[in-house]
Amino acid sequence: MRLFLILAGSVLIAGCGEIWNDPYPVAEQGKNILYSVFSERPKHLDPAQSYASDEATFTRQVYEPPLQYHYLKRPYQLIPLTAAEIPQPRFVEKGGATYSVYDVRIRPGTRYQPHPGFVEANLKLDRDTVAKLKNPYELPLGARELKADDYIYQIKRLAHPHLHSPIFGLMAEYIVGLKEYAETLKKAAKPGEWLDLRKHDLEGVQRVDDYTYRVTLKGRYPQFVYWLAMPFFASMPWEADRFFAQPGMTEKNFTLDWWPVGTGPFMLSENDPNARMVLSRNPNFRGEAYPSEGAPGDAERGLLADAGKTMPFLDKAVYTREKEAIPLWNKFLQGYYDVGGIVSDSFDQAIRFSADGEPGLTPEMQARGIQLDTSIGPTIFYVGANMLDPVIGHAGGERARKLRQALSIAIDWEEFLSVFRNGRGVAAYGPVPPGIFGFREDKDAINPVTHEWKGAKAQRRSIETARKLLAEAGYPEGRDAKTGQPLVLYLDTTQRGPEDKSMMDWWRKQFAKLSVQFEPRQTDWNRFQEKLRKGSAQLFIVGWSADYPDPENFMFLLYGPQGRAKTQGENAANYTSPEFDALFEKMRVMQNSPERQALIDRLTEIYRRDAPWLGGFHPKNFALFHSWLGNAKANEMSDNKLKYLKVDPVKREALRREWNRPVVWPVVLILVLIALSIVPAYRNFRRRERMPARAAA
């Protein structure tokens, strides 16, 4: 027993170093490593399939598409990544149709990370050899230069019969021959055999030379360049595909969906999605210069101090899975995570609003040197009105339009944000969020139907205005003027837990302002989606996060042919307006210009007049950084930000030691108390043992 205690004690002390609660190995202390978290286990790390933002945390550091977003400049701006320049389309007329031709030229000299797929012998492994592997990187590693063929291979993979690329449907509409290519591959695929895509040509994607490939699109699609900044269009070496297609690989979970292979600054060196993921510096990375220009104020914040220096700055990034918010927050405060988000539970501890409503850090956070950065995401959450509904939709005509306008005024989104999101968001005046081309600032931004400009700020119109509109709609005091029946409106929602009661009460209060009866129809996610697909919901709350920073990516949510009930598109409100659709079709193929802005203004005006959404909000993200983290700036469009970040490990180590000194005396006290309580108990025990037998009563 004594030996066990000594051994256990030694293990604990040896494992702890001077700080006992350090969750990382002692060997990592003082190293140039960034520590962060992930909460959801990623589903896909294959760039053809991955679409979720939590997956992008890993894929975007490994895979490199031809383009990227400027890290510092706002509004978001595309710049080359592996490409030599931003490809400009040539328009070709052929057979009465217009085609856009993009020649993407990549810079020579880019090399892949070390990978077993680049060693020829590793492409002929037998099942037994694979079965013995614990990690594919145990095999000899090789590398090679990036070629245009690798980008072509990846575009072909979007149509692979065994992959489910979320953008295949969209790209098949544009990339010449992609739809037919999927059929070709379907016929060519044989069960259990690797499908070599190099043997099958894709008409719309052709190799020009070693470093150039050509993509031909049907029609004009200026947004295509934004897709070239997403991992769907990253390079994929055929060798990696071949390597993971060998027998026995899938059984070991060695798949391309799990082990990314790229040219980026980092490579996934440890892959345990249940506990931790580690990105290590790619030794073959070509190096990239830190930006030397930024947005106004960036230089003052020290964000240009590393201008021109070679990235990446970190050797490693360790992501630990934290499912619960409380341990995550506490570990951030202890200095064990360099970056932290804010959840509602810890909001008051971290953030304090000034008199003019500006968020700032509490003195406790300031004392720790923590920095705050906020940004409005290219996202919108809105209450949609189903335009197929007879009461509130198109069939209701002018009456329904006024009803929707009245409700848009009554639903106080500013109050919603204050009550339920600690002010983390801004009310939406139109579909386009701030920071995206087409968004108007200040007075021009407001929705005149719901707001007015008073005292240099937007103010929601009075409830009397809403009541007046409601009366004009034929529902004075919330009752149908003809039948006298109360107006009942139904909100479909997936919020049905006890914790959502307060939110439902708030919704009821909004409708009660107009004396309209409110009925929440709380349902599960599947049924909710089914109602949207069938167009049987009346009011509903949904959200949209942009794929790229272009107004088209928001306005298309109101485009008639995208109607959810008819075409399973993204227009969940099933809104149709010939005028809107015609203007949208014009706007979407234009480059940003005053003419395009004028069209967006008009589209916004139509949206505000018709009110197919009863308002909504754009979430504001609050990010916290420790003082030892450098070059941190919120960037909602690009997830490849790891290469820009740097840490000061010496400062981090010193502060961790200061903040985490072990407090041993309470444990000693508890042990002493236990020992003291054992003594009388033992004495009592002994006394009773020695007690002579007592006579029976």
Partner 1 sequence: MSAYIVRRLLYALPILVGVNLITFALFFFVNSPDDMARMQLGAKRVTPEAIEKWKAERGYDLPLLWNDAASGVRKFTQTIFVQKSLRMFVFDFGYSEDKRNIAVEIRERMGPSLALQVPVFIVGLAVCITFALLLAFFRATYFDFWGVVLCVVMMSISMLFYIIGGQYVVSKVWHLVPISGFQGGLDAARFLVLPIVIGVVAGIGVSSRLYRTVFLEEIGKEYVRTARAKGLSEGLVLFRHVLRNALIPILTGVVAAIPFLFLGSLLSESFFGIPGLGSFTIEAIQSQDFAVVRSMVFIGAVLYIVALIATDISYTIADPRVRLQ
Residues at the contact surface with partner 1, assessed by CB under 8 A:
8, 11-12, 15-16, 19-25, 41, 43-44, 51-52, 161-162, 164, 166-170, 250-253, 255, 257-258, 272, 274-275, 320-324, 326-327, 330-331, 334, 336, 524-526, 529-530, 547, 568, 570, 660-664, 666-667, 681, 684-685, 688-689
Q: Smaller CB distance to partner 1: residue 56 or 489?
A: 56
In whole angstroms, the minimum distance from the beta carbon of 579 to partner 1 comes to 26
Q: Smaller CB distance to partner 1: residue 45 or 426?
A: 45
23 by Cβ neighbours in 10 Å (0-12 / 13-18 / 19+) ranks as: middle
> Cα torsion for 287, 292, 293, 294, to the nearest 10°?
70
Compute the radius of gyration of the chain from its Cα atoms: 30
Question: Regarding beta strands 517-522 and 488-493, do their DSSP bridges make them parallel or antiparallel, or are they unpaired?
Answer: parallel
In whole angstroms, the minimum distance from the beta carbon of 617 to partner 1 comes to 19
Q: Which helix (H) or strand (E) holds 269?
A: strand 266-272
Q: Smaller CB distance to partner 1: residue 23 or 474?
A: 23
The whole-angstrom separation of Cα 334 and Cα 320 is: 15
In whole angstroms, the minimum distance from the beta carbon of 164 to partner 1 comes to 6
In whole angstroms, the minimum distance from the beta carbon of 692 to partner 1 comes to 12
Q: Smaller CB distance to partner 1: residue 201 or 322?
A: 322
In whole angstroms, the minimum distance from the beta carbon of 680 to partner 1 comes to 9
What are all long-range contacts of 524-532, with beta carbons under 8 Å and residues at least 24 apart?
524/494, 524/496, 525/494, 528/492, 528/493, 528/494, 531/492, 532/564, 532/572
How is residue 106 annotated by DSSP? B
Q: Which helix (H) or strand (E) holds 380?
A: strand 379-385
The whole-angstrom separation of Cα 241 and Cα 197 is: 10
Q: Smaller CB distance to partner 1: residue 355 or 696?
A: 696
SS3 57: helix
In whole angstroms, the minimum distance from the beta carbon of 674 to partner 1 comes to 12
In whole angstroms, the minimum distance from the beta carbon of 187 to partner 1 comes to 15
Q: Smaller CB distance to partner 1: residue 530 or 579?
A: 530
Going across the sheet that includes 212-218, the strands are: 90-94, 97-105, 212-218, 205-209
H helices of 30-140, in order, are: 53-62, 127-132
Q: Smaller CB distance to partner 1: residue 177 or 327?
A: 327
Q: Smaller CB distance to partner 1: residue 49 or 408?
A: 49
The whole-angstrom separation of Cα 437 and Cα 400 is: 31
The whole-angstrom separation of Cα 682 and Cα 183 is: 82
In whole angstroms, the minimum distance from the beta carbon of 695 to partner 1 comes to 14
- The size of the chain, in residues, is 697
CA-to-CA dists, residue 498 to 418, 492, 495, 505, angstroms: 21, 16, 9, 12
In whole angstroms, the minimum distance from the beta carbon of 324 to partner 1 comes to 5
Question: CB of 628 within 8 A of CB of 31?
Answer: no
Query: Hey, how many other C-beta atoms are within 10 angstroms of the C-beta on 579?
Result: 11
Q: Smaller CB distance to partner 1: residue 357 or 680?
A: 680
The whole-angstrom separation of Cα 308 and Cα 294 is: 12
Q: Smaller CB distance to partner 1: residue 25 or 140?
A: 25
SS3 442: helix
Going across the sheet that includes 276-281, the strands are: 33-38, 316-321, 276-281, 266-272
The whole-angstrom separation of Cα 660 and Cα 644 is: 29
In whole angstroms, the minimum distance from the beta carbon of 663 to partner 1 comes to 4
In whole angstroms, the minimum distance from the beta carbon of 252 to partner 1 comes to 7
Q: Smaller CB distance to partner 1: residue 21 or 212?
A: 21
In whole angstroms, the minimum distance from the beta carbon of 465 to partner 1 comes to 36
Q: Smaller CB distance to partner 1: residue 255 or 517?
A: 255
